[in-house]
Amino acid sequence: MSAQRDALRTFVTERARGIIGITLLSGAVAATGFVLSVLLVWLLA
Amino acid sequence: MRMVLRPGPDDLKLIGYYLGKVLLGLGVIMLLPAVVALIAREWNAATAFIIGASLCLIMAGVSDAKLATNRSLTWAHGMVIVAVAWLVGTIFAAVPLMLSGRFETPLAAIFEVMSALTTTGMSVIHDLDHQPLSENFFRHLLQFAGGQGIIIVVLSLFISGGAQAGTLYAAEARDERILPNFIRTARFIFAVAGTFLVVGTLALFGALTLTGFTPTRAFYHAINLFFSTFDTGGFSPMQASMAYYHSLGVELVVMVLMIAGTLSFGLHFALWRGEPRNLLRHLETRTLAVTSTLFFGALAAGLILAGTYDSAAIVFRKGFFTLISAVSSTGHQVNPGVTYLTDWGVLAPAAIVGAMAIGGMASSTAGGIKAIRVGIAFKALTHDIRRILLPESAITVTTYSTGRRQVLRDATARSAMTVLLLFIVTFLLGTVVALLYGSYDLTEALFEAVSVGSNIGISIGIVDPLMPQGLMLIYTVMMWLGRLEYVAVFALWGYLIAIARGRTHA
């Protein structure tokens, strides 16, 4: 029973890490893009 | 010079046996849209899918009965099987589309399937907005199967031997072995896709429902968009692509999925294991971060200087989305392709072309030259410059990280440069062929050639149902070459020469 619980915990933890990691990475990428947009509009427009 | 041996009947039998397995997988895949067609009461489409699936399953049955063998695969066999499987699979998968009557010619149906399987995402279908639900679902499902690697799909389901699987896995341009065993690697890839399938579809469903879609329609669009986005394919259920939805929420979810799709499965593995540092140190991540920042800077500057958009919010929403779509090799569009030519000036489309050429990460579902090759080529260049500048007695060693520190070797640099060069030659050839038709200018021809050759799918307008058939054929071959990254196709060419001119005994 404990082994099954551990396996389930690993299953859920790994997937949660994967999803959260990608979401945070995407957030960082999008934030960089937005800041660059603001800076370039301010500089060039 | 050593003379190559002519492949014997046993070799051809082995290749035929594995091609049968691929057709078996394809036949099973075709049954899914057949079920959708029956539920949606699309009787013509259902008949077409049943005919297509039956053809595949009959061929698979014949191959299993007549060609079954216990012989092991060599690397040459693996390469040839993969190169031929992508051609044969494309032709068989095109059968239901040929029967649909929505394509001008059989070649157009083959183009559509090659575009789907290679996750390019360009379409030559007539009246996409009124296509039967099952046919549209089939197009997106093919992108999922092709992005995951049709061979990987098959080998993880129908082939048990790890060594056999490994040969096919590498031949399909998936050379990163994440886990010690290829079958386990293939299953990890499925686990990542399965997780994102659930979470991504739910997120898209939520965003579409908020936009005003009914639950059934939202679910249909969500699953199709997931298939085409996570596998960096770029098909869309509607002709207007992402512009159809007019929804920032949908675009943001799609952006996250595009980034997830362009990340190599090795880096997904690092995230799953809670080792994000590996992600940040990786040469490929750094190369992609630097090149994408530079290309976005150029793209945004181009849009602002051309007076296309003057607000940061619109530059971000239109420009940044397009950049991520190009880098990830997805090909979703938030505005009609012709606007790149008419409204976006010169610098912005040039930045998109650069981003499309590089593409995403190796061992992901993305296409293009791949960031790792560009990173290695840059490292090799700086290595050579350092060697020139330092005293002759100095020993220069260049290292880079791919999860662990590696020393840059000549063979690695040569291999990266060769593929990089082959991509560039293909882009140029595709451009010249389009120019020969005399109907397109250089910007259009280059843009479309890079988009097709890198399996991106953003179209400036050349690809349409009435485009010249010769150009359609050339683009079909370019998609095939780009997806298999040349090696398997060259191996097939060598194999054909060996059949024609090889020695019969050692």
Question: Using one digit for the tens of pLDDT, what is the confidence trace for B149-167?
Answer: 767 666 655 555 556 666 6
User: What pLDDT does B287 receive?
Assistant: 95
**pLDDT greater than 70 at residue B98:** yes
Question: Using one digit for the tens of pLDDT, what is the confidence trace for B30-53?
Answer: 999 999 999 999 999 999 999 999
**pLDDT greater than 70 at residue B499:** yes
Confidence of residue B505 (pLDDT cuts 50, 70, 90): low
Long-range contacts (CB closer than 8 Å, 24 or more residues apart) made by B153-158: B153/B25, B153/B29, B154/B21, B154/B22, B154/B24, B154/B25, B155/B21, B155/B182, B155/B183, B155/B186, B156/B183, B156/B186, B156/B187, B156/B190, B157/B25, B158/B21, B158/B24, B158/B25
Weakest-pLDDT range from B286-290, B400-404, B406-410: B400-404
User: What pLDDT does B156 receive?
Assistant: 59
Q: Which of B252, B271, B319 sits opposite A21 (nearest CB)?
A: B271
The mean predicted confidence, pLDDT, of chain B is: 91
Question: Using one digit for the tens of pLDDT, what is the confidence trace for B127-148?
Answer: 899 999 999 999 999 999 998 8
What residue spans define the domains of chain B? 1-175
Q: What is the pLDDT averaged over residues B180-185?
A: 71
**pLDDT greater than 90 at residue A45:** no
Q: What is the pLDDT averaged over residues A9-31?
A: 93
Q: Among residues of chain B, what percentage have pLDDT more than 90? A: 73
B272 touches chain A (CB under 8 A): yes
In one letter, which amino acid is A43? L
Distance from CA of A6 to the nearest CA of B (A): 15
Asked if B260's CB is within 8 angstroms of A22's CB, the reply is yes
**pLDDT greater than 50 at residue B1:** no
Q: Measured between alpha carbons, how far is B141 from B137 in angstroms, rounded to an integer?
A: 6
Asked if B196's CB is within 8 angstroms of A33's CB, the reply is no
Question: What is the secondary structure of B299-312 as a DSSP string?
Answer: HHHHHHHTTS--SH
- 8 A C-beta contact, residue B506 and residue B5: yes
DSSP state of B407: E
Asked if B300's CB is within 8 angstroms of A36's CB, the reply is yes
User: What pLDDT does B487 receive?
Assistant: 86
Q: What is the pLDDT averaged over residues A1-27?
A: 91
Question: Using one digit for the tens of pLDDT, what is the confidence trace for B322-364?
Answer: 999 999 999 999 998 889 989 999 999 999 999 999 999 988 8
**pLDDT greater than 60 at residue B209:** yes
Question: Using one digit for the tens of pLDDT, what is the confidence trace for B460-497?
Answer: 999 999 999 999 999 999 999 999 989 889 989 999 99
Question: Using one digit for the tens of pLDDT, what is the confidence trace for B220-266?
Answer: 999 999 999 999 999 999 999 999 999 999 999 999 999 999 999 88
- Pairwise pLDDT comparison (B108 vs B387), residue with the higher score: B108
pTM of the complete model: 0.93
Which among B199, B252, B254, B325 is the top mutation candidate for probing chain A, defined by the most A β-carbons within 10 Å of its own β-carbon? B199
Weakest-pLDDT range from B153-162, B184-193, B440-449: B153-162
Question: Using one digit for the tens of pLDDT, what is the confidence trace for B59-77?
Answer: 999 999 999 888 888 888 8
Q: What is the pLDDT averaged over residues B9-18?
A: 90
Q: Measured between alpha carbons, how far is B469 from B111 in angstroms, rounded to an integer?
A: 10
Size of interface A-B (CB pairs under 8 A): 79
